[in-house]
């Protein structure tokens, strides 16, 4: 199987390193303006004479390029697997017809804590869920100047609302589609960025679950946590420390999952395996990815 990765920033490199360990992958080519030693590299997609030689495409460029690159690939190939990094687009674009299988890289669906939660909540009525995610932008990717990252620039698709949209995806995956919302998405800090650095919202889903979602570039300690209240129990999920706790009506605590050592790439590995095996029921598809883009568009239209 031949793979083409478009974009070779930090996430493109991660996909490269993971996929080169797959026995089924015979070669990986890259589209990047970087000079890469001992690696087949093209400056532009248009420089590749025949895209049909590839079986699996990974679009990991800056968000504003996703639509153009995806439609170009789909105009040249048929019946291929295409994975687009999250979010799918920078904004909702015109639909197009294709027979390729398109997926959105919301890999956190494959986090073992969220997989366990999905199973646990499938038989319970969820009243309320509090979802919080925070990471201090200057220390998030220490290998680069945060001011030069796409995250810092709204015109490149940066900002917490898009950058941390995993929380919007897995929230809707777990609790249902958003039907009502009040939100704020703004820049409040003195970080040298022009994108939003905090987002908070109260939402109601079609399953009548009340959601409180907060994401930020401000937290000096990384946090990714959910607090969930159902009729039978309250559940606390910590995706950083890989711990899932349950409390019954008498406040008795149960440890449902406690796995402090987890390969940081396991969610990506399992996502790729699901796509390539054809068992992609938990992978975020094109339509689901587009729903998140439209939700973000709605939020951006109503922001202060």
Higher pLDDT, 259 or 287: 287
Determine the pLDDT at residue 158.
82
- The reply to whether 185 and 229 lie within a common domain is yes
Domain of 202, CATH number, reads 3.30.360.10
Of the candidates 51, 76, 105, which is a domain's last residue? 105
> Among 71, 90, 105, where does a domain finish?
105
Q: Is 262 a residue whose pLDDT tops 80?
A: no
Pairing label, strands 126-134, 178-186? unpaired
Shared-domain flag, residues 132 and 238: yes
Claim to verify: residue 57 and residue 117 sit in the same structural domain: no
Same domain, yes or no, for 238 and 129?
yes
Rounded mean pLDDT of the chain? 93
The answer to whether position 113 is within a domain reads yes
Find the domain containing 35 and state its range. Answer: 2-105
Cα gap 17→25, rounded to integer Å: 12
Counting the structural domains of the chain, the total is: 2
Nearest to 247 by CA among 223, 262, 265, 230: 230
Q: Are residues 76 and 113 in the same domain?
A: no
Residues 59 and 87 in one domain: yes
The pLDDT value recorded for residue 18 is 97
Please determine, for residue 282, whether its predicted confidence score (pLDDT) is greater than 90.
Answer: yes
Residue 162 · residue 215 · CB < 8 Å: no
- Using CA of residue 59, residue 28, residue 282, residue 268, what is the dihedral sign? negative
Q: Could you tell me if residue 302 is inside a domain?
A: no
pTM of the model: 0.91
CA atoms within 13 A on the CB side of 297: 12
CA atoms of 72 and 34, how far apart (whole Å): 21
pLDDT band at 303 (very low <50, low <70, confident <90, very high): low
Query: For the chain, what is the radius of gyration of the CA atoms?
Result: 20
Q: What is the pLDDT of residue 304?
A: 43
pLDDT per position as a tens digit, 86-126? 999 999 999 999 999 999 999 999 999 999 999 999 989 99
What does the pLDDT look like over 157-196, one tens digit per residue? 788 888 889 999 999 999 999 999 999 999 999 999 999 9
Contact 235, 246 (CB under 8 A): yes
d(CA 143, CA 130): 32
Give the CATH number, domain containing residue 26.
3.40.50.720
Answer yes or no: is 42 within a domain.
yes
Q: Which DSSP string do the residues of 201-246 spell out, in sequence order? A: EEEEETT--EEEEEEES--SS-EEEEEEEESS-EEEEETTTTEEEE
Whether 241 is covered by a domain: the verdict is yes
Residue 67 forms part of a structural domain: yes
- Residues 82 and 179 both lie in one domain: no
Give Cα separations from 166 to 32, 85, 213, 292, 301 (angstroms).
25, 11, 11, 9, 20
With contact defined as beta carbons under 8 Å apart, do 6 and 29 qualify? no
User: Could you tell me if 86 and 116 lie in one domain?
Assistant: no
- Give pLDDT, residue 142: 78
**Mean local confidence (pLDDT), 41-63:** 96
Taking only the tens place, the pLDDT of each residue in 18-31 is 999 999 999 999 99
What is the rounded CA–CA span in Å between residue 304 and residue 302? 7
Residues 43 and 135 both lie in one domain: no
DSSP 143: T
Share above pLDDT 70 across residues of the chain, in percent, rounded to a whole number: 98
């Amino acid at each position: 199987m031949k793979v083409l990765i478009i974009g070779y920033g930090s996430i493109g490199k991660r996909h490269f390193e993971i996929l080169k360990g797959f026995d089924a992958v015979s070669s990986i080519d890259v589209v990047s303006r970087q000079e890469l030693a001992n690696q087949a590299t093209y400056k532009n997609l248009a420089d590749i004479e025949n895209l049909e030689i590839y079986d699996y495409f990974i679009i990991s460029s800056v968000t504003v390029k996703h639509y153009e690159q995806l439609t170009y690939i789909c105009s040249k190939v048929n019946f291929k697997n295409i994975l687009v990094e999250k979010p799918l687009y920078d904004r909702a674009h015109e639909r197009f017809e294709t027979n390729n299988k398109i997926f959105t890289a919301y890999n956190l669906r494959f986090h073992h804590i969220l997989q366990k939660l999905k199973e646990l909540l499938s038989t319970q009525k969820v009243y309320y869920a509090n979802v919080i995610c925070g990471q201090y932008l200057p220390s998030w990717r220490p290998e680069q100047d945060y001011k030069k990252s796409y995250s810092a620039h709204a015109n490149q698709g940066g900002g917490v609302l898009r950058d941390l949209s995993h929380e919007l995806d897995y929230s809707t995956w777990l609790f249902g589609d958003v039907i009502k919302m009040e939100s704020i998405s703004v820049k409040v800090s003195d970080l040298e960025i022009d994108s939003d650095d905090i987002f908070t919202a109260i939402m109601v889903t079609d399953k009548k679950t009340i959601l409180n979602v907060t994401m930020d570039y401000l937290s000096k300690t990384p946090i990714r946590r959910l607090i969930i209240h159902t009729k039978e129990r309250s559940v606390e999920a910590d995706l950083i420390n890989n711990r899932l706790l349950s409390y019954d009506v008498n406040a008795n605590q149960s440890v449902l999952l406690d796995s402090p050592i987890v390969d940081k790439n396991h969610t990506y590995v399992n996502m790729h395996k699901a796509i390539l095996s054809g068992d992609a029921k938990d992978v975020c598809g094109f339509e689901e990815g587009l729903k998140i883009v439209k939700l973000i568009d709605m939020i951006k239209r109503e922001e202060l």
